[in-house]
Amino acid sequence: MVGKQKGGHQEQEPFTILIHRFPAFNLFFCTSLREHYRLLDPHNSPEESVHSYLSREAQKVRALVCVGHTPLKSDVLGLLPSLELVVGSSAGVEHIDLPECRRRGIAVTNAGTAFSEDVADCAIALLIDVLRRVSSGDRYVRSGLWPKCGHIALGSKLGGKRIGIIGLGNIGSEIAKRLLAFGCSIAYNSRKKKVSVPFPFYANVRDLAANSDVLVLCCSLTNETYHIINTDVMKALGKDGVVINVGRGGLVDEKELVRSLVGGEIGGAGLDVFEDEPDVPKELCELDNVVLSPHASVLTPESFEALHDTVLANLNAFFSNKPLVSPFPNE
């Protein structure tokens, strides 16, 4: 539960925080938020279930910070009758019951632009790694094969590639900016065509794939985007095509991706996210044209600092009746 503590006489406003399992994240958030607000932390009562704690303590809670990807479903929302705001701390908010929030008029925020640059950097790193075989070359050198077997297979140049970006929001725009500097051409698919964007828009992902060398996924996971990369799309992308996923595992039909990679129907993949994290299909681990990363694109102190500022700015805006800084959806 929180209220602004500065000044001391303002009545305490209710506020609660749900704790994610990632300890560094929790510590960072709790320590800092406590400096500004009074927290209700259901996870601090190990003897009691979250549900019974919330039923007793959280009737007047108006704002809730949902840390990381902690699921926030109707069972918990139902225990918070006064809730007006959910402050998400991730870019994707598919773990939050958005229809229920909408139904109750509860505003939702996400990480806004806090992670965009780091996620974009990660997408580029994965792409260069797949094309230029950086990780594969590293394994080659470490395993002592170089003196015995000579050069590794040719890589492929990034400059000149046609990149199809799926989801041209904050992250997608940062990815486009970086790829333009490498001399790539950009096209995109998004919920709708963006008037201010100079790149060709494809309403159909299959058509985008047919006109791209690389597909980069950085859109939200929704009912509409679930398995947006399927067999048809991969066939259209073709045998030299590369899939980069820094969005969510569920955007790609992973079984089909594995089948297409093993069968040489597409050229490679760089994946930071998976359908059943932290489990990764073992076939992917055996492929040299696949680069794997443990959902780590946002894991930098710089991203966390920017997120911290965004979370606080949203809370401060809410409690001073100002517009939220990163409402979701934000377009």
Is 62 considered catalytic here? no
- 104 a catalytic residue: no
Interface with ligand GLV (CB under 6 A), residue from 70, 90, 245, 326:
90
> 33-63 in b/e burial notation, b at 16+ Cβ within 10 A?
beebbbbbbbbeeeeeebeebbeebbeebbb
Query: Whole-number minimum distance, CB 121 to ligand GLV, in Å?
Result: 14
Q: Does 92 engage in binding with ligand GLV (CB under 6 A)?
A: yes
Q: Is 312 in the site for ligand GLV (CB under 6 A)?
A: no
Residue of 178, 227, 295, 308 marked catalytic: 295
Distances (CA, A) of 254 to 192, 246, 265, 277, 286: 26, 14, 14, 12, 15
**What is the separation of C-alpha 20 from the centre of its chain, rounded to a whole number of angstroms?**
16
Q: Does 91 bind ligand GLV (CB under 6 A)?
A: yes
Site residue total, ligand GLV (CB under 6 A): 6
CB of 61 to ligand GLV, least distance (A): 23
Find the catalytic residue in 21, 48, 56, 277.
277
Provide the minimum distance between the beta carbon of 138 and ligand GLV in the complex, in angstroms, as a whole number.
Answer: 25
Least distance to ligand GLV, CB of residue 245, Å: 11
DSSP-H helix ranges across the chain: 23-36, 50-57, 74-77, 98-104, 116-132, 134-142, 145-149, 170-181, 205-210, 231-237, 254-262, 282-285, 301-319
Region of 50-58, 76-84, 90-98, 313-321 interacting with ligand GLV (CB under 6 A): 90-98
> What is the rounded distance in angstroms from the CA atom of residue 250 to the CA atom of residue 217?
11
The residue ranges that bind ligand GLV (CB under 6 A) are 90-92, 111, 115, 298
